[in-house]
Amino acid sequence: MKRIGFVGLGEMGLPMARNVHARGFEVRGYDTRAEAQRAFRETGGRVAASAEEAAQEADAVIVMVRTPAQAEEVVLGDGGVLEHAPRGTLLAVMSTIGVACMRRLGAGARARGLRFLDAPVSGGRARAEAATLTVIVGGTAKDLADGRPLLEAMGSHLAHVGDVGAGTAVKMANQVLLTVSLMAAREVAAIVEAAGVSVETAWDVLRTCTGTNWVVENWPTASGWIERYTPGTSLDILVKDTGLALDLAREEGVPAPMLGLTSPMLVGLVRRLNG
């Protein structure tokens, strides 16, 4: 497996594609934005003129776009990956797009003779740049074995959790826990400050206690998502992902009252930040 098509050179996709290229793979990257294409070209990567061109003659294609609609257009749409990737190509969708969408893409790929991995990632931009992402994989053991060298160019922890859809379900779980923790930490910060304790003092203690979590341990980063919010960044991604998690809970008939409270709270916060 040598020739890689990479569709989506955004906040996460660009450093991921760079790392794949740095590992010696022949990468053709595509993004709709000229600045993303330029940034990839400057690191020595080849830029494709379209998703179609990125997929042609590829041994594997990685899709790292933002939304379910974008993923469906890139994979299933006219001129998309399924129309132009050779039979036997491994398609790894690494976007967070919801279980139902991921299963549709997987079924479409398999119907066209492609292999498929549901492979969302966690870790953020810094770990994408360091190639230390967690890659949560749904698919067959054979497809994962074949794709492992490629995935290991981007992540230091690969977890095989089941068939297509399972990887995304676990990624949804992470996003729910992250969002609930973030909203709870905001409330805790307000409570301790009202009681005369600085947030920094409280966090120093709580980081040694049973209530600690990633948000508490990385409060400057997590609180910065709110304090330095700009549209299209981490909070907007969490809005998308908690909405997809709510869809999954409804589809599976699972009560999710905590998520049902937290997701609208996050939506309201983002609306206020947007003015």
Domain ranges of the chain: 3-163, 169-273
Tokens of 45: 């990567």
In sequence order, the 6+-apart residues with CB closer than 8 A to the CB of 77 are none
Q: What is the pLDDT of residue 182?
A: 98
Average pLDDT over residues 249-263: 96
Rounded mean pLDDT of 130-148? Answer: 98
At residue 1 the predicted structure's pLDDT band, cuts being 50, 70 and 90, is: confident
Examine the pLDDT at 275 and tell me if it is beyond 90. Answer: no
Q: How many helices (H) and strands (E) does the chain have?
A: 14, 9
C-alpha span between 59 and 4 (Å, rounded): 6
Distance CA 19, CA 214 (A): 26
In this structure, whether the domain defined by 3-163 belongs to CATH 3.40.50.720 is answered with yes
| CATH code, 169-273 | 1.10.1040.10
Whether pLDDT at 196 is above 90: yes
Q: How far is residue 14's CA from residue 36's CA, in Å, rounded to a whole number?
A: 7
Looking at every residue in the chain, the average pLDDT score rounds to: 97
Across residues 83-94, what is the average pLDDT?
97
The per-residue pLDDT for range 22-71, each reduced to its tens digit, is 999 999 999 999 999 999 999 899 999 999 999 999 999 999 999 999 99
Average pLDDT over residues 82-86: 95
Among the listed residues 2, 142, 171, 240, the single catalytic one is 171
What pLDDT does residue 110 have? 97
State yes or no: is 240 an active-site residue: no
pLDDT above 90 for 160: yes
The enclosing H or E element of 168 equals helix 166-194
pTM of the shown model: 0.95
By the 8 A CB rule, do 36 and 14 touch? yes
